[in-house]
Amino acid sequence: MAPHAVSEAGYSNGYSNNHSTDSLPSQKDELFTVSSPDVVYTDEHIKSKYVYRTTSVAKSSNGNYVATPKETNYDFQVDRKVGRVGMMLVGWGGNNGSTVTAGIIANRRGLVWDTREGKRAANYYGSVIMGSTVKLGTDESTSEEINVPFHNVLPMVHPNDLVIGGWDISGMSIADAMDRAQVLEPTLKSMVQKEMSYMRPLPSVYYPDFIAANQEDRADNVLPGNKACWEHVEQLRKDIREFKSSNSLDKVIVLWTANTERFADIIPGVNDTADNLLQSIKTGHEEVSPSTVFSVACILEDTPFINGSPQNTFVPGAIELAERHNAFVGGDDFKSGQTKMKSALVDFLINAGIKLTSIASYNHLGNNDGKNLSSQKQFRSKEISKSNVVDDMVAANSVLYKKGEHPDHTVVIKYMPAVGDNKRALDEYYAEIFMGGHQTISIFNVCEDSLLASPLIIDLVVLAEMMTRIKWRASGAEEYKGFHSVLSILSYMLKAPMTPPGTPVVNSLAKQRNALTNIFRACVGLQPESDMTLEHKLF
C-alpha cells in the first residue's frame, strides 16, 4: 500500500487507506439498522420520519406560565455515500496543523513507537467522533445498555481517509514544522518524517496588522499584497479547485488553525452586509481580515469553512453571504482544555444549586500561539471567546442569579516559552453555598495544547462533511433542504459557538453533546434517549 504523499505545491499525489469510501455501504456492513416503518434504507439514502416534541410556554394574564406540548413532523434524508474528502488547513505548518497531520498518518499506518513510559500506539483519543460512544438502546433480553461508537451512527468519513493540504505564511515543510513545534516524541517523528517532508503549504494571506508583530519572521510564504484584495479571494478559490481536482475529491473542508487575529471593527458600509463586504475586499479596505477573506473564498466555492481561532472572522457581511449561497460556516475557537473543563464544571455547579460568584483563569503558554497572544489586541480576541462561556448557564437559573447578575470572571494569558506546548491552566471557582457558607475549587490543569486541539480539528471536519449529506423537511413539504448555513451543531468543539442570527447561544457542554447526539439519532429515526429507565422501574 503506497503511502499518502503531498507534492511541494501542497497537492496530494497518492491516497491510501484501509477504510475506502468510494463504494456505497451496504446494510450488512453497517453496525446496526433501525427496524421501523418510519425508516427506509435505499442504496443512496437513509430516510426517516421523525416526531420532534417541544414545549411552548406563554405567560397568562395572572402572571403564571402555561406550558403546551408541541409536536412537529419532519422527514430526514441522509446520503449514504461519503465519497473522497479533502481537509485544507489554514496554518498547516503550525503546531496544530503539523500535529494532526502526523497523527492521521500514524493512525493510517498503525504505527507503534517507543517512549520513556513504554510503547505507544496511534489512536484518536480526544475525538468525540472516533473515541466516544452513543447509547443505542437496551437489550430486551438482558436489560443491558447497548452503546455503539459515535462514528457508526451514520456513514461518516474516516479520518484515515482524509487527503490533507493547506496554506501557511511559513514555507517550511510540514516535517520541519513538526520539529519546530516540539510536540511529538522523537521516535514517532522519525517514522513519519520522510512522508511529511514532501508536504509543503501553499502561500497564504498575510496582513501584518491583524497578527502580532513577532510573527513577521515566519512570513516567507505569502501572496503579494498586505491588505484585502479580490486577487486573494480568486487565488484561494483556485487553490481549493486545484486541490479538489488533482486529488479527485468529491468535497473539501477548510479549517482555520492559524494565528489568532485581532478583532475586526464592525463598520457600517464596510463589513455589515454581504455586498458591502465584497466591495470592501475589492477596494482593499484595511478592516477586512485574512480569515474573513478565506471565509469569502470558501463561501463562493461552496466549501464549508470553520474558524478554529477566537477572532470575529464571520462579520455580519460574511454570515449574510453564507446564507445567500447556502454555504456552511462554523466557529469560533477550539474548546480543548481549560474552557472545556469550565463548561462542564460550571454546568454541574449551577445545576446543583451552588452559586458561583467568581471564576479566575490563568494560563501560561509557551508555543507560538502563546507568543502571538502576548500582543494585547490578539489576547483580547482570546479573552472574549473564553469569557462568555458561562453566560447561558447563569441566565438559566433565576433562583441563584437575579436579572443582570453574573459571576466575576477574569482570564489571564502569559507567554512563558519554557513550558512549550504544555500549557499550564490554573482556575479558581469561588461559590456561595448553604447558609452563607463558601466553597472554593482550585484546578491545576497541564494541557498538551496541540494534542488536545488536533482531535477537535478531526471532529469539526468530519461533522462539517456529514452535514453536507443531511437534508430535512417538514412533513408534507415538497423539497428537502439543508441545515442553516451557521453550523451550531459544532458547538461542542468550540469556545465561542456561532448560532444562526436571532437564536440563543448554548455553552452548556451537556446540552451541546445532547444536541449533537439527538440530531444524529433523528437521522436514523430514533427518539432521544430519555435516561428515565422506566422499563426498570415500573413493575
Q: What is the pLDDT of residues 307-353, one digit of tens each?
A: 999 899 999 999 999 999 999 999 888 888 788 888 889 999 999 99
> CATH number for the domain including 392?
3.30.360.10
- Reported pTM: 0.90
pLDDT of residue 188: 97
CB neighbours of residue 68 within 10 Å = 9
- Set 189, 244, 251, 382: catalytic member: 382
Q: What is the pLDDT of residues 392-429, one digit of tens each?
A: 889 899 999 998 899 999 888 888 888 888 888 899 99
pLDDT bucket at 19, cuts 50 / 70 / 90: very low
Q: What is the pLDDT of residues 372-398, one digit of tens each?
A: 666 676 666 656 656 677 888 898 999
Residue 6 lies in a domain: no
The answer to whether the CB of 458 falls within 8 A of the CB of 334 is no
Q: What torsion, rounded to 10 degrees, do the Cα atoms 8, 14, 16, 21 define?
A: 110
Angstrom distance (rounded) from CA 167 to CA 256: 10
Residue 85 lies in a domain: no
> Which spans in 34-168 are helix H?
95-109, 128-131
Angstrom distance (rounded) from CA 367 to CA 374: 11
- Set 47, 340, 471, 495: catalytic member: 495
Kindly state the DSSP code that residue 142 receives in the 8-state scheme: T
Angstrom distance (rounded) from CA 161 to CA 150: 17
The answer to whether the CB of 348 falls within 8 A of the CB of 356 is no
- pLDDT at 22 > cutoff 50: no
- pLDDT at 4 > cutoff 50: no
Residue 116 lies in a domain: no
| Residue 382 is among the residues annotated as catalytic for this protein | yes
- pLDDT at 10 > cutoff 60: no
Kindly state the DSSP code that residue 488 receives in the 8-state scheme: G
More confident residue, 16 or 103: 103
pLDDT of residue 236: 98
Residue 434 lies in a domain: yes
| Residue 114 is among the residues annotated as catalytic for this protein | no
Sequence letter at residue 403: K
How many domains are there within the chain?
A: 1
- pLDDT at 503 > cutoff 70: yes
Look up the domain containing 442 and give its range. Answer: 338-449
Q: Which residue has the cell 497578527?
A: 211
- Set 244, 251, 423, 471: catalytic member: 423
- pLDDT at 371 > cutoff 60: yes
Q: What is the mean pLDDT of the chain?
A: 89
pLDDT of residue 367: 77
| Residue 333 is among the residues annotated as catalytic for this protein | yes
Q: What is the pLDDT of residues 135-177, one digit of tens each?
A: 999 888 888 999 999 999 999 999 999 999 999 999 999 999 9
- Set 333, 369, 427, 459: catalytic member: 333
The answer to whether the CB of 423 falls within 8 A of the CB of 117 is no
Q: What is the pLDDT of residues 26-67, one digit of tens each?
A: 444 578 999 999 999 999 999 999 999 999 999 988 889 999
Q: Which helix (H) or strand (E) holds 381?
A: helix 376-387
Residue 286 lies in a domain: no
Q: What is the mean pLDDT of residues 200-213?
A: 92
